[in-house]
Amino acid sequence: MSRFWSDHLVDLTPYVAGEQPKNVTDLLKLNTNEHPYGPSPKALEAIKLAANDNLRLYPDNESIRLRAAIAQLHGLDSKQVFVGNGSDEVLAHIFNGLFRRSGRALLMPDITYSFYRTYCTLYQVPVQLAPLADDFSIRVSDYTQSHGAEPAGIIFSNPNAPTGMAMPLADIRAIAAANPDIPVVVDEAYVDFGAESAIALLKEHDNIVVVHTLSKSRSLAGLRIGFAVADPQIIQGLNRVKDSFNSYPLDSVAQAAAVASIEDTAYFEQMCRAVIDARTQLTAQLIGLGFQVLPSMANFVFARHPEYDAAALAQALREQNILLRHFKQPRIDQFLRITVGTPEDCERLCNSLVKIIKKTH
């Protein structure tokens, strides 16, 4: 706190990212949903090729090649694509550009990606929370039936974070149809691990905005690339925000690597499949150890053990250099969010859990 701070900074609660410890040997990082395998070798090759004298030049501020590659991948027009420095930045521009509607509230689940709440404080957007059902699913009727004043917009992740649970496309269609005059933002950070993408609904609904990241399924978290796809006029609005903030959010190296990654479909599919298979395996092993595991369509599972305190389990694993994510939040404070690693990673985790559980008995 300093007397030099702007007023709104005083009340701001920044998002707390999972830790990235340095210099710990033998560390098993299952806390930030990074991909266990590396990015496409073609992306790495593109990075080497892009590291040349042209770095003295500013990058393409319109990311023309990258937006064309994304458009082609999803059967869209480039005018429907917006790119940013990680999807967190894309989301920030969405909050700033679409949700600041003279004090109207943003409607979202009580349990979802916690960054949304942070952006609401940063951009002074009031929040209206719709509690998840007891089974942690999103209750569609909370978003299709009117509750008085029209919200500024709707946002949720699908699959949801940190539950990993996916919503069927029909439900998203119903939400978009019931709210034709406000943006419905679907954050699909984890969609490539088995859920259905709402991009298929853009043809029918001009109020849907779908946000993707290359950090999770394309294993490029270190490069910071995210994108949104929507109606061209929504994209135009996001470009206004971007060009009033930073015209060059993606450096030329990141743009080159992103194009190469998106074009390498075979590698992408193989790596998604590997994570999905490991998830199935890990889920079965955790259930075998007595955990309750929510049905996940993401590259993580959300699990609780009826007999062991989640924070205590996380601490015991931490002492063995295994990091998981634990949220001290009502309703979910007995759950652990566990990133799906390689089969070897999952085995090490389960072996450690067996020992911890035996010791505490």
Ligand X SMILES: *Cc1c(COP(=O)(O)O)cnc(C)c1O
Task: Tell me which residue has tokens 């998106």.
Answer: 262
The single residue among 80, 179, 207, 213 that binds ligand X, judged by CB under 6 A, is: 213
User: Taking the complex as a whole, how short is the minimal distance between the CB of residue 213 and ligand X, in angstroms?
Assistant: 3
Longest CA pairwise span in the chain (Å): 63
Query: How big, in percent rounded to 5, are the helix, strand and coil portions of the chain?
Result: 40, 15, 45
Produce one character per residue of 32-56: b if its CB has 16 or more CB atoms within 10 Å, e if not: bbbbbeebbebbeebbeebeeeeee
The single residue among 95, 113, 193, 291 that binds ligand X, judged by CB under 6 A, is: 113
Query: Please, which residue, 140 or 221, has the CB nearer to ligand X?
Result: 221
The single residue among 94, 98, 184, 189 that binds ligand X, judged by CB under 6 A, is: 189
User: Taking the complex as a whole, how short is the minimal distance between the CB of residue 215 and ligand X, in angstroms?
Assistant: 3
Nearest to 259 by CA among 39, 34, 38, 90: 39
Query: Please, which residue, 164 or 356, has the CB nearer to ligand X?
Result: 164
C-beta atoms surrounding 162 within 10 Å: 26
User: Taking the complex as a whole, how short is the minimal distance between the CB of residue 258 and ligand X, in angstroms?
Assistant: 11
User: Taking the complex as a whole, how short is the minimal distance between the CB of residue 161 and ligand X, in angstroms?
Assistant: 4
Coil vs helix vs strand at 156: strand
Query: Please, which residue, 86 or 109, has the CB nearer to ligand X?
Result: 86
The single residue among 183, 226, 237, 249 that binds ligand X, judged by CB under 6 A, is: 226
- The tokens for 349 are 């985790």
The H or E element that residue 270 is part of is helix 265-288
Site membership for ligand X, residue 192 (CB under 6 A): no
User: Taking the complex as a whole, how short is the minimal distance between the CB of residue 160 and ligand X, in angstroms?
Assistant: 8
Site membership for ligand X, residue 252 (CB under 6 A): no
CA 237, distance to chain mean position in Å, is 22
Site membership for ligand X, residue 249 (CB under 6 A): no
- Residues in the site for ligand X, rule: CB under 6 A? 86-88, 113, 157, 161, 187, 189, 213, 215-216, 221, 226
